[in-house]
Structure 1
Amino acid sequence: MWRSVASNGLTLLIVLCIAAAGVIGWGKAQYVAEGPLDAPICLQVKPGETMAGVAEDLSGRGAVSSPRILRIGADYSDRSGDLKAGNFLIPERASMQEIVAAVTGSGRNTCGTEVVYRISVNSETVQVRELDPGTNRFVELVSFDPDGEDVAQAQALYEQYRDQVGTQFRIVVAEGVTSWQIVEGLKAVDVMTGAVEEIPAEGYLAPDSYEVRTGDDRGELLAEMRARQEERIDEAWRNRAEDLPYETKEEAVILASIVEKETGIATERGQVASVFVNRLEEGMRLQTDPTVIYGVTNGRGVLGRGLRQSELRARNDYNTYVIDGLPPTPIANPGMDALAAATNPADTDFLYFVAKSLDPGDGHVFAESYPEHQDNVAAYRRLEAEAAQGN
């Protein structure tokens, strides 16, 4: 009798084990299988929220077939504790495994409402945009220049979105802005805190896009900009061409800043850099207007007019029509393309360049000799005269 009971018990245990294994296997299959979501959604995970709460939210929006399986899967893979607050784009048919990876990864926002503060050479703008999950493209909600006219309505809309739960913030620094312009731009970002006591060294803040949060410190963001730029400078200097007419990476940054201010066209930066490198090798003065402008403005804003003859003749450290070689410091914060151009200029014999047309986007025409350059300048002057007659 006891042998029969033991046999039946063992059989039952085996059956239960097989059933459990089947359930576990089914759960794993459900966890990695294509999900039921018909269209992409933007999932907001609030600070302090748990994986259980996220799972229930996803279930209510038709993104998962079983919130329990998602929670167990996250626990089993030791990712529940990595849940990040933010806004995350969940694609259609995303599996529970993919969803867990999205909400426990870098924490970078991939959807939702975003306020973008743009610090450019000629202006500062505030843009509020929202990612459309269906098209994965941003839709602009409002954009304005805080210093412009008739901005009260736009300002009110901005403040409404700014104070909305889940709004994310981004600062975009354009190539070629000065350190003073960056600091002034950050002062106007009203979601940040902290005073900036000193303008950072020119040329050593990285033009880039930076995600920030309410209450972030301006000084800490500037430190991040410095660290990012130092990495870029070091990499460009490590990969530099041989026989450059300067010996330090600091001089390379100076030249990169001049290249940055002379052209906004990435494809011709190497040629522009070659002109200045060739001039340095020939012992010629650089004769570039942006350095003179920097000497006049000290990098504090835009000149807003043409250079005067007296300014072109003035003797100062930044007037490259008067001094030999490079100015003492950079004149702006160069981007990666300009740094690459300064450390690996194009191989040309060009010594001169002038604008190709009245549209800066058309770039420049280059010349190897002064007579050729004079012809190019004359052609540009004719365009100016024709434009003046047309007005």
Structure 2
Amino acid sequence: MRTRLALAGGLALLVVVGFLAGAALWGYLRFEAPGPATVETTVRIPQGLGVNTIGHQLADAGVIDSPRLFSLGVRLLSGGRPLQAGEYRFPAGVSSRQVMETMIEGRTVRRRLTVAEGLTTAEIMALLAEAEGLEGDLPPDSEWPDQGTLLPETYFYSWGDSRAALLERMAGAMDEALAELWLDRAPNLPLRTPREALTLASIVEKETGVASERPRVAAVFINRLNMGMPLQSDPTVIYAVTQGKEVLGRSLTRRDLANDHPYNTYMNPGLPPGPIAHPGRAAIEAVLNPMQTDELYFVADGNGGHAFAKTLAEHNRNVARWRALMRQ
């Protein structure tokens, strides 16, 4: 009798063990199997959520089919590593294991914000304010960064990053770039400080949108500074009118050119008090290593570039050609 009971108990135990092993294998295979998503799916996981809540959010988005299985799989197979919050883009058919590994490693969506060369502080602040996924307020106008202190380039960020932190990255990038380029500057430039280089670079940035022209435009201004000639740059006059807070929206007038403002380089010799925009790295390089030329003038050529001249007579002919093109 006892033998029969022992055998029955043993068989029951084997059945239970077999059942549990089968259930474990079934669960493991489901955890490894392709999930229900038929299209790429983006899910945003806020900070502070537990594994169960994350599982339900993923299931609601159609990425996984079983929150309970996902939660159990994470607890058994994650090695104690936490799932990280953030914005994730999961491909169609992603398995629960792949979801877990993606979130453990924090492979979040990389968003990008491109800051074009020559933008003003007000324009960059508007970009930051409108950038999707960034959080937090920007500083008030009185605490905005000075013109020229932010480096234009493409910045990558993740959903939930702060606007203030991205602004700090822009400022740090400019500090680093300017320090590096200042060390490699050409000798005998009429630029005493890195800030003066930034000021001239911002003018060059506003004067031409043609990358190959920057060193040549910079050379014209360097030559003028060396000779004590006024820079006579229209963008500085525009800045005197707008303070970089808006687009002028009209042509400059004689009254604008005669305005005795510190940024009017028609009325004041030398550099203006500071940058008029945020120059890119190439513009800074151009003023610190300008083209070697005797040219003192340039004017638009009607084709997006400029016609350069060494003498006033030659310049006047270029101006006449440009005006004729404008009349046409």
Give the TM-score taking structure 2 as reference length. Answer: 0.68
User: Take 2:115 and 2:63, find their aligned partners in 1: how far apart are those partners?
Assistant: 39
Q: Offset at 1:262?
A: 1.1
- CA distance 1:110–1:52, shift in 2 (3 Å): farther
Q: Deviations over 1:330-351 (max 9, x none)?
A: 1112223322333333444443
Which of the residues 242, 261, 274 maps onto 2:206? 261
AA of the residue aligned to 2:181: A
User: Take 1:184 and 1:272, find their aligned partners in 2: how far apart are those partners?
Assistant: 29
Q: Offset at 1:258?
A: 0.5
Unaligned runs of 5+ residues in structure 1 are 1-22, 112-169, 387-391
* Pairwise CA RMSD: 4.4
User: Take 2:116 and 2:187, find their aligned partners in 1: how far apart are those partners?
Assistant: 30
User: Take 1:267 and 1:37, find their aligned partners in 2: how far apart are those partners?
Assistant: 49
Matches within 5 A, 1:307-386: 307-357=252-302, 362-370=303-311, 371-386=313-328
- Match status 1:48 vs 2:31: no
User: Take 2:98 and 2:293, find their aligned partners in 1: how far apart are those partners?
Assistant: 51
Conserved in 2, the CA contact under 8 Å of 1:176 and 1:332?
yes
User: Take 1:235 and 1:73, find their aligned partners in 2: how far apart are those partners?
Assistant: 50
AA of the residue aligned to 2:250: R
Which of the residues 221, 236, 239 maps onto 1:276? 221
Q: Offset at 1:282?
A: 4.0
Matches within 5 A, 1:91-130: 91=91, 99-100=99-100, 102-105=102-105, 108-110=108-110
- CA distance 1:95–1:265, shift in 2 (3 Å): farther
Please, which moves more after superposition, 36-45 or 263-272? 36-45
- CA distance 1:374–1:194, shift in 2 (3 Å): closer
User: Take 1:257 and 1:63, find their aligned partners in 2: how far apart are those partners?
Assistant: 52
Q: Offset at 1:329?
A: 0.6
Q: Deviations over 1:100-150 (max 9, x none)?
A: 554344664348xxxxxxxxxxxxxxxxxxxxxxxxxxxxxxxxxxxxxxx
- Match status 1:193 vs 2:137: yes
Matches within 5 A, 1:121-270: 173-183=115-125, 192-193=136-137, 196=140, 197-208=142-153, 209=155, 211=157, 216=162, 222-270=167-215
Larger proportion of strand: 1
Equivalenced residue count is 295
Q: Offset at 1:211?
A: 4.7
Conserved in 2, the CA contact under 8 Å of 1:192 and 1:214?
no
Identity of aligned residues (%): 37
Matches within 5 A, 1:11-22: none
Conserved in 1, the CA contact under 8 Å of 2:136 and 2:164?
no
AA of the residue aligned to 2:270: G
Q: Deviations over 1:274-301 (max 9, x none)?
A: 3222333444332211112222333232
Unaligned runs of 5+ residues in structure 2 are 1-23
1:88 is matched with which residue? Answer: 88
- CA distance 1:62–1:251, shift in 2 (3 Å): closer
Q: Offset at 1:328?
A: 1.6
AA of the residue aligned to 1:71: V
1:292 is matched with which residue? Answer: 237
Conserved in 1, the CA contact under 8 Å of 2:89 and 2:108?
no
Q: Equivalent residue of 2:143, what SS?
A: coil
- CA distance 1:90–1:332, shift in 2 (3 Å): same
AA of the residue aligned to 2:85: K
